[in-house]
Amino acid sequence: MRPRYIDADKCTACGLCTKYCPRHLVDQYNEGLAITRPIHIDYAQAVPATYFIDPEACLYLKHGTCQICVCTCQSKAIDFSQKPEEKELHIGAVIMAPGFGRVPDATLAKYSYGQHPDVMTSLEFERLLCASGPFEGEVKCLSDRRHPKRIAFIQCVGSRDLGCNNGYCSSVCCMYAIKEAMVAKEHDPEVEITIYYMDMRTQGKGFDAAQKKAESMGIKFVRARVADVMPWDKNLKLTYSTMDGKHSFEPYDIVVLSVGLDAPADAKNLGEIAGFALNEYDFCKTETFAPLLTTKPGVFVAGAFQGPKDIPESVTQSSAAAGLAAGLIVKDRGKALVHKTYPKEQKTGTDEEVRIGVFVCHCGINISSVVDVASVEQYTEGMEGVVYHAQSLYSCSQDAQEVLKAKIKEHNLNRVVIAACSPRTHEPLFQETLKDAGLNRCLFEMVNIRDHCSWVHANEPAAATQKSMDLVRMGIAKARHIQPLPEQTVPVTAKALVLGGGVAGLTAALTLAEQGFHTTVVEKEDTLGGHLQHLSFTLQGDTVSTVLGNLTDTVKKNKKIEVLTNTELTQVNGFVGNFSSVLTTTKGKKTTETTIDHGVIIIATGGREHRPEVVLGNPVEYSEAIVTQRELEKRLSGKGKNLAPKSVVMVQCAGSRGDDLNYCSKVCCNHAVKNALKIKALDPASQVIVLYRDMRTYGFAEDSYRQAREQGVVFIPYTMDNKPKFKSSGKKTSVTFYDPILRDEVTMNPEVLALSVGIVAEGTEEISKLLKVPVNEDKFFLEAHVKLRPVELPVSGVYVCGLAHSPKPVEEIIVQAQAAAAKASIPLCKGFVSVEPTISCVDKETCIGCGLCESLCPYQSIRITKDENGKRKAETITASCKGCGICASHCPVFAISMGGFTDEQINAQITAFGAK
Amino acid sequence: MGQAKDKKSGTVMVVGGGIAGVQAALDLTELGYYVYLVEKSAAIGGAMAQLDKTFPTNDCSL
Amino acid sequence: MSQKDFNPKILGFLCNWCCYAAADSAGVSRYQYPPNLRTIRVMCTGRLDPAFVLRGFAEGADAIFSGG
């Protein structure tokens, strides 16, 4: 452990030390585009929110002089006596998540990177766009600070390039380039932006739509290879060649290099220390059907180190890896956890005298340099209910907590108002102190006089002081009405229900069972395996039937898993922790119903192959000569002679990406390459032509795409303005397409026309109605948060994985299933769901049972039930209420109250707003 | 945090404090394990903390 | 009263998850804006009962701001 030279318990992140530090340091967080000091914090929201000293740049640590920071720091946090420490830990499992590395500068040199300041990497450009970046979000040329008129993005820099030994596709650059281009366009709608690409690989959920939006904003996409970028007067000259062999050049003010994700710099070292193997590109070596296992047992991998990937996939892998690690050491669950204890809570009755303590914070000089803190404090003197008021230098510091506790006891306070920073960041800290002092944590109100006052009215101290007084007055008014709220928990039935017996459902069930939870798998078909039963081999060469056989056997043998085939979910009642579901099994003419209780639901109902009847405007009749890729795969993996057709034309995006379906199905390009390689392996003389829009062989699949080209598979792009045409008469099929290299129409008569059709959602709408979970416009389930909660649905206790979420290859399905199982096991292993006290509560006396709240609640967390007299009454489902208050604001008889935000409290605030 | 009671059992080490490492650590604690989150720089957050916005919703990434 | 001297009193209801958070980051980024707003934090602007708006005007607000 390297020292920070700053005591984290004392540092209040006020920033005074950075202000006084005399030495400059290049700001790595801002990609070297800004200047900071050796004593600094990377960014305001950094965790831990403790400054640190760069020992390589600090004058004292390097040369033994200075120490200005020591006398500047008011909380005496600077500690030069800290030494590096070594720790020895004994651990049960390891998760490797070291991220990715940088493409070496040498690879960027041919684009004049390093020679001209206006050629920059995408990460540098990202910092330029950011409000906390070097120019506070203003996009300027680094050379002379002028606003750029023309910006170019060059894709695949350091990716899909054997020249720098990065043969793979980095999978994220197309997306971030589109994002950065759009944000730059928002900054300045006049700026002209061109993205030079080989294939636009926007294969993720909703990604194609974002690219369309970028196009509609006027961002140009040009399929070309960029030869070089050279300084040209004040500008840059970008030379490129298009498919038709033409060379052109254009002037630009800024050229952004969309750099790929390299393996982390210390990958080899990590591999040696931990004893796991790397792949040829120095990423972690894993298998298709065990994507998160390293070659060393007990060591798991997650994130970009497993292969280049975006944020949602990294988050998914992390949850999955956590679930796998948890399953490995399940017998030690909870053994090492440290639980905190609190003193018994004192009772605060409604009729008890209100005794408010007000603490006004200086936050170093963050507040007090603008707001007259002493006046604000004095202002509270004599206010109704206020029995104590004080100032503190840093109310969040450890010693201030001790003072707070002492004052609560000394003055017998039963409400605390702190005027300081944001409750969003600091409320939990103070509530913890209240609990330590034996008070209910809800007897607390925070007034934000820093973020909402001193920081934003820095030049108007009088007005800021007045605003602080007003806000404090309003806070105290609310505090007079706050009441203790009980800590609520809801018990959980430690069982899971998994819908779907495909690879997603089975993997999820196994992951849950390994953690010790009883799981019921429901499959509507007769057999387990789903989509995977129709596949024979993978791009990586695995035999699917063997793997699937092993998986189904393991599931069937597991005593914790109950499998119900020919069964469907027909009814669901309850909420997180306490679901009760009716399952209907149909065998022949006989149907049986069973009801099971469970705490969570995982939706893994899959999807099915899309079979469009019209492809790119051509009517299609499927036959032996016109097949889907799946049917071609079946033929290729059969027995006997002449498996490989003599000639094949494959058509990508058949019925996808705006043809019939609006989205990209993510798997079809890999499927085509897989089949093409198989044909070439069976018969190298066979002719294979692939007509495509963008080859989306992202990640390491790019290697197979390159291999296919090397083996003579011909890839020819088409556009939606010039679609391939096909006809069939009898056994003969003819395909006509435009060849951009020949610059002419070509007609062929292939033995087989293989259509790369997409994947559609199946049965999602029915489940959506049953469980009240949303689906998107393409009928796939819509996750709770696209980036950070990718396997959770908005209804608590319901999770999604596999094709029901969106089309994706099997490797990603397995990870998603493991992640959904890991997330689902959180409430199961806790045994209860804790509820924030800020939820709705119905006064049954007043409620007239109109049902408006039930129909409006976005989380299905309030329902109408019958009371003992048979009268309709609303009831909050505490376990899933999110506290939004829509029910309370719409209740016609004011029967609904929100914990911590009652009508009484808000009205008191409004009245206090008016009072002077 | 604090110190783990029994050092051997029920603990997991997560190497890397980027979004992947942080998510894994959070999930593991929720699942009942003590986590050592190891990060070589002074703050967790990794590359995601450097991003201005995220694709495709263009939400702020911090 | 001339347009220039008009110093409105604005009462704002801010959603904890978006607008309140945005106001926090405006502070972190030191954006400067006029000091006329007084805020009430709610967990969602769905909590905003029309009665609150009317009461705000009755209490002398020149404008009500709903940020969600």
Q: Encode pLDDT of A464-522 as tens digits.
A: 999 999 999 999 999 999 999 988 888 999 999 999 999 999 999 999 999 999 999 99
Contact list in B for residue A336 (CB cut-off 8 A) is 4-7, 9-11, 33-34
Per CATH, which fold does A105-259 belong to?
Answer: FAD/NAD(P)-binding domain (3.50.50)
**Strand arrangement, sheet containing A386-392:** A386-392, A356-361, A415-420, A444-448
Residue A364, token pair as written in the block = 């170093």
User: What percentage of chain A exceeds 90 in pLDDT?
Assistant: 83
Q: Encode pLDDT of A60-116 as tens digits.
A: 999 999 999 999 988 889 999 999 999 888 899 999 999 999 999 999 998 999 999
> What confidence category does residue B5 fall into, taking pLDDT thresholds of 50, 70 and 90?
very low
Strand A415-420 vs strand A356-361: parallel, antiparallel, or unpaired? Answer: parallel
Class of residue A584 by CB neighbours under 10 A (exposed 0-12, middle 13-18, buried 19+): middle
| Of A91, A317, A333, Cβ closest to residue B13 | A91
Contact list in B for residue A41 (CB cut-off 8 A) is 42-43
C5 domain-assigned? no
The pLDDT assigned to A10 comes to 84
| Of C20, C46, C52, Cβ closest to residue A910 | C52
Subunit contact A457:C39, Cβ cutoff 8 A: no
Contact list in B for residue A338 (CB cut-off 8 A) is 1-5, 34
Q: Encode pLDDT of A380-396 as tens digits.
A: 999 999 999 999 988 88
Is there a contact between A491 and A791 (Cβ–Cβ < 8 Å)?
no
**Res B2 pLDDT > 50:** no
Residues in contact with A432: Cβ distance below 8 Å, sequence separation at least 6, in sequence order: A441
**Res A279 pLDDT > 90:** yes
Mean pLDDT score, A612-630: 95
* A913 in contact with C, Cβ within 8 Å: yes
Contact list in A for residue B32 (CB cut-off 8 A) is 326, 333-334, 337, 829-830
Q: Virtual CA dihedral for A468, A472, A478, A484, nearest 10 degrees? A: 120
Contact list in B for residue A511 (CB cut-off 8 A) is none
Contact list in A for residue B39 (CB cut-off 8 A) is none
Subunit contact A906:C52, Cβ cutoff 8 A: yes
Subunit contact A456:C48, Cβ cutoff 8 A: no
A204 by DSSP, 3-state: which?
Answer: coil
Reading phi first (left if > 0) and then psi (alpha if -120 to 50, else beta), residue A852 is in alpha
Task: Output DSSP code: residue A305.
Answer: G
C47 domain-assigned? yes
Subunit contact B27:A126, Cβ cutoff 8 A: no
C35 domain-assigned? yes
The pLDDT assigned to A74 comes to 84
CATH class, range A1-90: alpha beta
Residue A164, token pair as written in the block = 């720098």
**Res B26 pLDDT > 80:** yes
Amino acid sitting at position A873:
K
User: Which of A787, A789, A818 to mutate to probe the B interface, most B CBs <10 Å?
Assistant: A787
C58 domain-assigned? yes
CA separation for the pair A858, A445 (Å, rounded): 27
> What confidence category does residue C5 fall into, taking pLDDT thresholds of 50, 70 and 90?
confident
Say whether the peptide bond before residue A117 is cis (omega within 30 degrees of 0).
no
Subunit contact C47:A451, Cβ cutoff 8 A: no
The pLDDT assigned to A615 comes to 96
CATH assignment of A356-379+391-479, among 3.90.1520, 3.40.50, 2.60.40, 1.10.3470: 3.40.50
**Res A646 pLDDT > 60:** yes
Minimal-distance CA residue of chain C relative to A449: C27
Subunit contact C27:A467, Cβ cutoff 8 A: no
Is there a contact between A595 and A580 (Cβ–Cβ < 8 Å)?
yes
Q: Encode pLDDT of A287-337 as tens digits.
A: 999 999 999 999 999 999 999 999 999 999 999 999 999 999 999 998 888
Q: Which residue has the tokens 């034996």?
A: A438
Amino acid sitting at position A661:
L
> What confidence category does residue A639 fall into, taking pLDDT thresholds of 50, 70 and 90?
confident
CATH assignment of A495-606+767-833, among 3.40.30.10, 2.60.34.10, 3.20.10.10, 3.50.50.60: 3.50.50.60
Same topology for domains A105-259 and A609-760, yes or no? yes
Q: What share of chain C is helix, strand, coil (3-state, %, to 5)?
A: 30, 25, 45
Question: In the A/C pair of chains, how many CB contacts fall below 8 A?
Answer: 116
Higher-pLDDT residue of A573, A661: A661
DSSP code string of A222-241: EEEEEEEEEEETTEEEEEEE
Cβ neighbours, 10 Å, residue A39:
29
> What confidence category does residue A397 fall into, taking pLDDT thresholds of 50, 70 and 90?
confident
> What confidence category does residue A233 fall into, taking pLDDT thresholds of 50, 70 and 90?
confident
> What confidence category does residue B4 fall into, taking pLDDT thresholds of 50, 70 and 90?
very low
| Of B1, B10, B20, Cβ closest to residue A97 | B20
CA distance B54 to chain A (A): 7
Q: Encode pLDDT of A23-60 as tens digits.
A: 999 999 999 899 999 999 888 778 887 899 999 999 99
The pLDDT assigned to B3 comes to 45
Minimal-distance CA residue of chain A relative to B51: A126
CATH assignment of A836-915, among 3.30.379.10, 2.40.110.20, 3.40.190.10, 3.30.70.20: 3.30.70.20
Class of residue B54 by CB neighbours under 10 A (exposed 0-12, middle 13-18, buried 19+): buried
Instruction: Please count the structural domains in chain C.
Output: 1
Subunit contact A46:B42, Cβ cutoff 8 A: yes
**Res B6 pLDDT > 50:** no
The pLDDT assigned to A389 comes to 97
CA distance A457 to chain C (A): 6
Q: Which residue has the tokens 């720091």?
A: A73
Subunit contact C33:A456, Cβ cutoff 8 A: yes
**Res B8 pLDDT > 70:** no
CA separation for the pair A316, A802 (Å, rounded): 12
Minimal-distance CA residue of chain B relative to A130: B52
How big is the CA angle at A530 (ends A528 and A533), to the nearest 5 degrees? 90
The pLDDT assigned to B1 comes to 38
The domain limits of chain A are 1-90, 105-259, 356-379+391-479, 495-606+767-833, 609-760, 836-915
The pLDDT assigned to A50 comes to 86
**Nearest CA to A348 among A417, A415, A416, A446?**
A415
Minimal-distance CA residue of chain A relative to B21: A97
Is there a contact between A27 and A36 (Cβ–Cβ < 8 Å)?
yes
* A457 in contact with C, Cβ within 8 Å: yes
* B60 in contact with A, Cβ within 8 Å: no
CA separation for the pair A888, A621 (Å, rounded): 58
Is there a contact between A222 and A240 (Cβ–Cβ < 8 Å)?
yes
The pLDDT assigned to C17 comes to 83
E strand intervals along A393-534: 415-420, 444-448, 488-491, 495-499, 518-522
* A473 in contact with C, Cβ within 8 Å: no
Residues in contact with A689: Cβ distance below 8 Å, sequence separation at least 6, in sequence order: A647, A648, A649, A650, A713, A714, A715, A716, A748, A750
> What confidence category does residue A235 fall into, taking pLDDT thresholds of 50, 70 and 90?
very high
Chains near C (3 or more Cβ pairs under 8 Å): A
How big is the CA angle at A840 (ends A899 and A853), to the nearest 5 degrees? 150
Q: Encode pLDDT of A450-460 as tens digits.
A: 999 999 999 99
Question: In the A/B pair of chains, how many CB contacts fall below 8 A?
Answer: 222
Statement: A609-760 belongs to CATH 3.50.50.60: yes
User: Which of C10, C19, C24 to mutate to probe the A interface, most A CBs <10 Å?
Assistant: C24
* A466 in contact with C, Cβ within 8 Å: yes
Q: Where in the sequence is the domain holding C26, given as residue range(s)?
A: 10-67
- How confident is the prediction for chain A on average, in pLDDT? 93
> What confidence category does residue B59 fall into, taking pLDDT thresholds of 50, 70 and 90?
low
User: Which of B8, B27, B60 to mutate to probe the A interface, most A CBs <10 Å?
Assistant: B27
> What confidence category does residue B62 fall into, taking pLDDT thresholds of 50, 70 and 90?
low
> What confidence category does residue A880 fall into, taking pLDDT thresholds of 50, 70 and 90?
confident
C28 domain-assigned? yes
User: Which of A39, A51, A215, A332 to mutate to probe the B interface, most B CBs <10 Å?
Assistant: A332
Class of residue A175 by CB neighbours under 10 A (exposed 0-12, middle 13-18, buried 19+): buried
Subunit contact B43:A176, Cβ cutoff 8 A: no
Contact list in C for residue A132 (CB cut-off 8 A) is 29
Contact list in C for residue A453 (CB cut-off 8 A) is 35
Residues in contact with A313: Cβ distance below 8 Å, sequence separation at least 6, in sequence order: A790, A812, A815
Cβ neighbours, 10 Å, residue A896:
24
pTM: 0.85
Contact list in A for residue B45 (CB cut-off 8 A) is 46-47
Q: Hey, which residues does C40 pair with through a beta bridge? A: C13
C3 domain-assigned? no
Minimal-distance CA residue of chain B relative to A51: B42
